[in-house]
């Protein structure tokens, strides 16, 4: 299996190298360059490799989670905690945080979801920094 994967990667690498030299010149307009066959083929190779990586990651992650009951329990707690953070962030977000010129380009629900994403980021950052400080504090006081 390992040999087959190596051969496949070499073939994809050679195809990518050939397509690289077939790319349009830099003086070509962007809309024409984006429609070139070499560019589309490179995008399809990228999508294929990304899809394979995502599927392989999910398979091995789920295999690891379900092979260990304690790991499954910890995963469920983590997913539940993330869901709580997302719900709290959505409730805290406001759909009218932007100026009128930007609100004309979007709607209130989009602004609310962007605010929710920012709130999730900030809350998770605070949790991560707190966990690092707590771990350092416990390490300093345990000796």
Instruction: Give the start-to-end residue ranges of the domains of the chain.
Output: 1-67, 69-143
The Cα–Cα gap between 87 and 84 comes to: 5
Q: What is the pLDDT of residues 82-107, one digit of tens each?
A: 999 999 999 988 877 676 676 677 78
Which is more confidently placed, 25 or 143? 25
CA dihedral sign of residues 21, 22, 28, 34? negative
The Cα–Cα gap between 9 and 18 comes to: 14
- Determine what percent of the chain is predicted with pLDDT higher than 70: 94
Answer whether 0.85 is exceeded by the pTM.
Answer: no
């Amino acid at each position: 299996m390992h040999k087959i994967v190596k051969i496949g990667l070499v073939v994809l690498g050679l195809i990518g190298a050939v397509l690289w030299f077939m790319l349009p010149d830099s003086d070509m307009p962007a809309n024409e360059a984006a429609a070139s066959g070499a560019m589309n083929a490179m995008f399809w190779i990228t999508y294929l490799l990304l899809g394979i990586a995502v599927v392989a990651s999910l398979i091995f992650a789920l295999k690891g989670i379900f092979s260990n009951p304690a790991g499954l329990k910890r995963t469920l707690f983590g997913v539940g905690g993330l869901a709580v953070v997302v719900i709290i962030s959505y409730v805290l977000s406001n759909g009218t945080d932007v100026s009128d010129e930007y609100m004309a380009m979007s709607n209130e629900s989009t602004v609310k979801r962007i605010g929710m994403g920012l709130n999730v980021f900030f809350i998770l950052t605070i949790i991560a920094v707190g966990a690092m400080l707590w771990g350092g504090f416990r390490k300093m006081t345990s000796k």
